[in-house]
Amino acid sequence: MKISCHAYLLGLCFLIYVQYSKGQNHSYTDKYNLDFDLQNSKNIFWKIDQPNYFVIQVDSLQKNNGKNPLCIAQFKLRGNAARLIGGTIQQKILLPRIKSDSVTVSLNCKSLNLQQAQLIITGISDRECILYSDTLSILGSDEWKTFSRSVSLHNVRFLHLNIKAEGTKEVSEQCLWLDRIDLKIDGKDINDFPLPEISVIPVIKRNDLISLPLSDSNSFSKISDLERRKIIAIGETIHGSETITELAVKLIKHQVEYNHCKLILLELPTEVTFGWNRFIQGDSLFKIKDITQDLKSIHFAPLIMIDFCQWLKRYNERVKDKVWLIGMDINTISYSTPAFLYDYIYTLNRHLHHVLLDSLCSEVYKYESFPKALKLIEKNKEIENLLGKNEFSILHHCLDMSIACGENTNRRFAIRDSLMYLNAKFLLNLLCPDDETVSIYAHFGHVNHKTTYSSFPFHRSFGSYMKDKFGSDYYNIAVLTGKGNLRTSYKDSLNLNRMLEIPPMNSLEDLFMQTNEELCFITISTLPTQLMYIRFIGAFYEENQFIVIAPASRMDAAIFVRRSKSYDLLPGTPTSNMEVIDFESKRRIERFKQYKQVKVNLK
């Protein structure tokens, strides 16, 4: 009886192991999806760059090597096909630690009606520096063909693969079919090597940490860099955490009260914050309820931000040199900008009743008439008197930048961080004298010193431009969290409450979890200059929450929050894309009623 019981338990353990193993990555092909398998959600799928004009799908009508291949094809709407533009998928592979001169990359694929198809291979060092980039054409075969290229492995820690497709101008079926990628090091298949592991990170020394109990209002005074640096950029590694927003706000308040901070920049489009800034500077026409309405579609914890705006208003009431609160971002959708500019000018004119502001309202109502709005304010200097010199300059800059960006959402997204930098530089020159400081609050993907996404090594981050311009005066602090939950979006669902994954071994978060600190600060120079895992979640939920980076190359310091709490939703906050459409439609109808009255006033 004992033998059969033992056999049963052994068999049960084996079945559990088999089921567990199905979700694990045992090879490079599995982990990095080198066979383009859409079925396994546990692997690291290829990152899609600007998917506005193409779709990625399994072609069930094709078969190669016993499976249906992946296909990059043009987007079709109601049966009409558009030209395949900028079809790009990318993957970043952490290589095994072996001594070898080169790796051979082979891609089995075929194409139809493409103007261009390329495999771009990039070597990246363990400090995340680009060592080289080599382009292989994969165009010209409507039959399955293997394209190969050997590249150097000297000092290479990551191999970045970028598959790019561009269709012809003629509207016809345009596709790139992908079967698999093979990597061979010295003739040996990469799957024969064990998956690389991050080197063990030494335990953090207790005397390198600064505890930051939120109950201690002066805890940030222990961080000497906060008073020595002109620009403090706070970069949250996840959006949607009330705890992190609360921490960021407390840090900014400290900078305002003790370190001469007179300019606060947020990861929001500039036009969104015209009304916010008017409110905190004491204009009674602009109400907290209007800010509350805006916060229903923003990633910051709404109740914390409402309280912050009210605090800034009270602070400005007792000082002569007031704090400015401005967004440094751009709207990637051009037609979203007019609504905020219109609301700002319309609200301002409720008290002034000035015909020039009625005219300006009329011209900012639609994106197409922005050039007319710009000419109007340039021609009529009286508008500068109505708005104030600085606010007039910001409005002029906002219109100018929006026109220069154009209507193409793809292009706006691609150059977003460079535009954030231009906005920040302009606002610093306008509003921040040498003896004052700036606080920035955004996602770590923007404020870090390298790239917006680890998977896109050529997408320079806002922080990389700032570091080049301001050097050591630019100081970014990554805000990490160990456990808890967040507000996030997934597919068509918005503002979901999701749990955070347990940090893996050799992650920066796991290192902090071992300290038993609830909230603490560390200067990155006290940590070893090696690769580590770090949590990275932007606007949308990620199945794989951790990426591999070199913290010493991306941040100056880190603040650790042990437990994240997702923020509570305001009543009426949309939780689906359909609710967003309904929410925006109601605001648009109200705005159109106002617009018709403005037109009457102009007659």
Q: What is the pLDDT of residues 400-450, one digit of tens each?
A: 999 999 998 878 988 999 999 999 999 999 999 999 999 999 999 999 999
Taking residues 497-524, what's their average pLDDT?
96
Q: Does residue 600 register a pLDDT over 80?
A: no
Residue 131 belongs to some domain of the structure:
yes
| Token pair for 57 | 């799908």
pLDDT digits (tens, 9 = 90+) for 71-91: 988 776 656 666 666 678 999
Residue 144: is it exposed, middle or buried by C-beta count within 10 angstroms (0-12/13-18/19+)? middle
Phi, psi of 323 (to 5 degrees): -80, 140
Where in the sequence is the domain holding 88, given as residue range(s)? 28-192
Q: Tell me the pairing of strands 158-167 and 210-211.
A: unpaired
Which of 4-8, 108-112, 488-492 is the least confident region? Answer: 4-8
Distance CA 272, CA 577 (A): 20
CA 480/CA 208 separation, integer angstroms? 17
Q: Within a domain: residue 494?
A: no
Q: What is the pLDDT of residue 8?
A: 39
**Average of per-residue pLDDT across 219-229:** 96
Torsion of CA 407, 413, 414, 419, to 10 degrees: 90
What's the pLDDT band for 169 if we cut at 50, 70, 90?
A: confident
- 22 falls within a domain: no
Q: Return the CATH number at 121.
A: 2.60.120.260
d(CA 152, CA 131): 10
Q: What is the mean pLDDT of residues 576-603?
A: 76
**pLDDT number for residue 79:** 60
pTM (2 d.p.)? 0.91
Residue 207 resides in a domain: no
Residue among 340, 350, 269, 266 nearest 309 (CA): 266
271 near 331, Cβ under 8 Å?
A: yes
Domain count, the chain: 1
Determine the average pLDDT of the residues in 359-388: 95
| Domain assignment of residue 146, yes or no | yes
Domain annotation covers residue 274: no
Task: Look at residue 6 and tell me whether its pLDDT is greater than 50.
Answer: no
pLDDT of residue 2: 42
Residue 172 has pLDDT above 80, yes or no: no
Average pLDDT of the chain to the nearest whole number: 90
Let me know if residue 99 belongs to a domain.
yes
Tens of pLDDT, residue by residue over 527-550, are: 999 999 999 999 888 878 999 999
201's tokens = 């990170």
Predicted local confidence at residue 19, as pLDDT: 36
| pLDDT tens column, 552-588 | 999 999 999 999 999 999 999 999 888 888 878 877 7
Is 171 a domain residue?
yes
Q: Which pLDDT does position 80 carry in this prediction?
A: 63
pLDDT of residue 517: 94
The DSSP H or E segment spanning 428 is helix 416-431
Comparing 55 with 164, which gets the higher pLDDT?
Answer: 164
